[in-house]
Structure 1
Amino acid sequence: MTKEPIKIFNSLNFSSIPEKLLITIIQNDNLQMSEIQVWEHILKWGHAQHPELPSNVTNYSKDDFNALKITLQQFIPFIKFYNLTSKEFTDKVLPYKKILPKGLYKDLLKSFLSLLEPNSKLNNNLNPHLTNLKTIDSKITTSQHTELISKWINRLEITDKLTS
């Protein structure tokens, strides 16, 4: 189960897996899945328990969020949200912030925001994922090298034109 959990998560009977068994699977430290995949499958399982929920989270009512929150509350402590990238957090978790415990949500938000440089402002001309890289104090790398490496780290599309 831990080496190929995707077989379980993609099975036709996934939505009928008992809650306790699913919790046992996701809390295993040797689970061969990324944390974002675990989160997405747990959401999928939660949605299957409430087929009446709208397909788009932006259309959820307060009652919809509460129903999903109650269903998934036992899973939340076993999801390693701190292992997500900021993009994964923003795209996949933030829309569901109302189902997270408030303390956890605030801690996650602080954690991901603390990754930003203090007192920095985004330059509208730059890609918002990159900080100002013009002042590089190095005899080995140039600002172009630094921008390229930063793009690799942020998994951004690499183009021949470097603008920063």
Structure 2
Amino acid sequence: MSQVSKWAGPLTVILLVASLAALGYYQFIYMPIANAEVEVPQEWLEPPEESIIEIIIGSVNQDQEENYVPREITVKLGINNRVIWKNIDTIIHTVSADSGAEEEFEEEAGRANFLDPDGGEFSFTFTMPGEYFYHCEPHPWMRGTVIVLEPEA
């Protein structure tokens, strides 16, 4: 009997046990953690106040310094984290998330194209702290930032 055939049976068993252990870890430990949904408090989903950002008249003018007003806004989760962009300009604009933004904001803001002139709106309720950068697709000089803070303990 050769050395290879002498170890073939035990090595097969060891390999099988190791494979099953790895599969069990992946299925019962890794996947539940990776797929766990983040619990978002109800007060974050329905804040008592809204924050308004206006796209003002003349924003299409590249020399105009104010476009999204305010250009940078700070909101607090559970207080005023629902942001509404209102287009009061006379032409179409967008609220498009910069690449690398939090996935849900990037997805929703991508669908916001286009905000109709004279009153078109887009709203988004932020549920994660961080800085969110956005711009207008047809007018890339129009840029803004939403800073989302955790509620005070």
Q: Give TM class, smaller chain.
A: under 0.3
Q: What TM-score, normalized by structure 1, do the two folds share?
A: 0.21
Higher RCO (Cα < 8 Å, 6 or more apart): 2
Q: Which has the higher strand share?
A: 2
Greater C-alpha Rg: 2
Q: Which has the higher helix share?
A: 1
